[in-house]
Chains A and B, each alone.
Chain A
Amino acid sequence: MSIKFSEDHEWIQSQGDDLVVIGITDFAQEQLGDLVYVELPEVGDECSRGENISVIESVKAASDLVAPVSGTIVEVNSRLEDEPELVTEDSMGDGWFIKVKLSSPEELDELMDESAYNSFIEE
């Protein structure tokens, strides 16, 4: 399944049927440092692209997770509530944040592929 990236350093992996899994990239978790708390949205919440949907707290500061796509949140990784370090340890795997049912699947076309993202973070 294809994986895309946002300028806000999120990865968006398609699972078919307009379902995507969203997390933050390794680059982002390195920038944030040790995470101590993740505030997740509720299952069933609607999100629109660009909206703050989750808060990621490191020892030092709080940052927002910005929705890279619009849709309905169908699942959240509730393990993060007790184990925010999963994001640090495995940002592309066990450290996923949410699953979204897309309302505008064409938004995926505006995201970067892996090589575009790699050039983006090198800038």
Chain B
Amino acid sequence: MSKDTLIRTTPLHQMHLDAGAKMVPFAGYDMPVSYPLGIKKEHNHTREKAGLFDVSHMGQIRLGGANAKKALESIVPVDIIDLPLMKLRYALFTNKSGGVMDDLMVTNLGDEDLFLVVNAGCKNSDFAHLQRTIGDDCKVEFLEDVALLALQGPLAHKVLSEIAPSISEMIFMTAKQVVINGIECLVTRSGYTGEDGFEISLAAKDSEELAKLLLSNIEVEWVGLGARDSLRLEAGLSLYGHELDIHHSPVESSLGWALSKVRRTGGEREGNYLGFETIMKHINEGSESKVVGLQPEGRMPVRDGAMIEDELGNNVGKVTSGGFGPSINRPIAIARLKKSYIEKNSKLFALVRDKKIAVEIVSLPFVKQNYYRG
């Protein structure tokens, strides 16, 4: 079998080809990295109007049964039991050493019905992990023949409410079952661009019709993975495999905010998840490294993998995501740095090819998040 036959496609693949997209392999899928508009304009269109993203490569998983919430809570450092109906929460699968196996969104569709969206590159291992750890306590169902569309940007709400008036009252991190033009959709007000917006889960067979309906609005343009990455980077959002990995705890990845109080030491339902001791140690005693924003001086992009040094040439860390921020028209980066240097606020440099680029530690995000909280 040739390698090409192993490449998967989303239900909207033909639409991307018809739209003239530049396709690249990503997490085993042939995905649109950009359309004829180009990354910069797609990025800016999302910040100014509404961008439509095909994120059907991501994994969609349902957990069912009376113990579903309790079961999921036993493998994440997050409060799932008290997650209200039709609300979303950001969660992480941790391992024994406190590292992160994936990050995910959890939606409570009914107290015996949870909906998870996980990263494309981790979805098979996530499913295996769920089956192995909680497969006896609840039903773990990997959803096949589904699609996921993201409509993101300041006009996303206007565009979607024109065809689905019932979504107009939704606030950030809530969910609703909606019928749009006869198509059953699970709509969440969420996304990964820093903008207001929605993610829409639906049957694969209906996805082309909904995509066409959304694109028929002149405010909407297809946006590819290239701009998705620059948008999330500007919004300071972590990406699995970059800021998050199995070697670093959530604290080391500056995701302490995602660790629910009730699951920490002294909390009502403390511990009882993989890596609890390490993670609590990092919360209480601090971790050796942290993830921070970096502003490179000048115009040369500082990209993933670039080493960071101090003035004396000591290694201080490494860039985890870097590139160019079209909205702010300058290079931006996120890096994992040794904590002692962050506190010292030392003069730091990124090594790019044979050059040393001065970088300044800055707070994230680079572009203000624009969520609708009611």
CA separation between A55 and B299, bound complex, in Å? 13
Given contact pairs A33-B34, A33-B226, A36-B324, A59 touches B300 in the complex (Cβ within 8 A): no
The answer to whether B300 and A58 have CB atoms under 8 Å apart is no
Interface: B60 (CB within 8 A)? no
The answer to whether A81 and B299 have CB atoms under 8 Å apart is yes
Interface: A117 (CB within 8 A)? no
The answer to whether B34 and A62 have CB atoms under 8 Å apart is no
Interface: B63 (CB within 8 A)? no
How many inter-chain contacts with C-beta < 8 Å in the A-B complex? Answer: 46
The answer to whether A34 and B40 have CB atoms under 8 Å apart is yes
Interface: A39 (CB within 8 A)? yes
Which of A33, A36, A58 makes the CB contact (< 8 A) with B299?
A: A36
B323 nearest in chain A by CB position:
A59
List the B side residues contacting A34 at CB < 8 Å: 38-41, 326
The answer to whether B353 and A57 have CB atoms under 8 Å apart is no
Given contact pairs A34-B40, A37-B301, A59 touches B33 in the complex (Cβ within 8 A): no
The answer to whether B323 and A33 have CB atoms under 8 Å apart is no
Given contact pairs A55-B353, A62-B303, A37 touches B34 in the complex (Cβ within 8 A): no
List the B side residues contacting A61 at CB < 8 Å: 303
List the A side residues contacting B229 at CB < 8 Å: 60
CA separation between A3 and B38, bound complex, in Å? 29
The answer to whether B299 and A60 have CB atoms under 8 Å apart is no
CA separation between A59 and B299, bound complex, in Å? 12
Which of A57, A58, A82 makes the CB contact (< 8 A) with B39?
A: A58
1/0 per residue, CB under 8 A from B, across A73-89: the answer is 00000000110000000
Interface residues of B in 95-145 (CB under 8 A from A): none
Interface: B295 (CB within 8 A)? no
CA separation between A37 and B324, bound complex, in Å? 9
Interface: B287 (CB within 8 A)? no
CB distance from B288 to the nearest CB of A (A): 30
CB distance from A35 to the nearest CB of B (A): 9
CB distance from A25 to the nearest CB of B (A): 17
The answer to whether A59 and B230 have CB atoms under 8 Å apart is yes
Interface residues of B in 193-238 (CB under 8 A from A): 226-227, 229-230
Residue from A33, A60, A61 with most neighbouring chain B CB atoms (10 Å): A60
The answer to whether A39 and B300 have CB atoms under 8 Å apart is yes
Given contact pairs A33-B34, A33-B226, A37-B324, A59 touches B39 in the complex (Cβ within 8 A): yes
The answer to whether B299 and A37 have CB atoms under 8 Å apart is yes
B40 nearest in chain A by CB position:
A34
Given contact pairs A58-B39, A59-B324, A36 touches B301 in the complex (Cβ within 8 A): yes
CB distance from A40 to the nearest CB of B (A): 11
Interface residues of A in 19-38 (CB under 8 A from B): 33-34, 36-37
CA separation between A60 and B229, bound complex, in Å? 9
List the B side residues contacting A57 at CB < 8 Å: 300-301, 324
The answer to whether B300 and A60 have CB atoms under 8 Å apart is no
Which of B39, B300, B301, B353 makes the CB contact (< 8 A) with A33?
A: B39
1/0 per residue, CB under 8 A from B, across A30-70: the answer is 00011011010000000000000001011111100000000
A52 nearest in chain B by CB position:
B353
CA separation between A55 and B357, bound complex, in Å? 15
Counting from the closest, the 6 A-B pairs by CB-CB distance are A34-B40, A36-B324, A59-B39, A34-B38, A60-B226, A59-B324
Residues of B within 8 A of A (CB): 22, 33-34, 38-41, 43, 226-227, 229-230, 299-301, 303, 323-324, 326, 331, 353
13 intermolecular pairs with C-beta atoms under 8 Å apart: A34-B39, A34-B40, A34-B326, A36-B324, A39-B300, A55-B353, A57-B324, A59-B227, A59-B326, A60-B39, A60-B229, A81-B299, A82-B299
> Told that A33-B39, A34-B40, A61-B303 touch, could you supply 14 new A-B pairs with CB distance under 8 A?
A33-B38, A34-B38, A34-B326, A36-B40, A36-B324, A37-B299, A37-B301, A57-B324, A59-B43, A59-B226, A59-B230, A59-B323, A60-B323, A81-B299
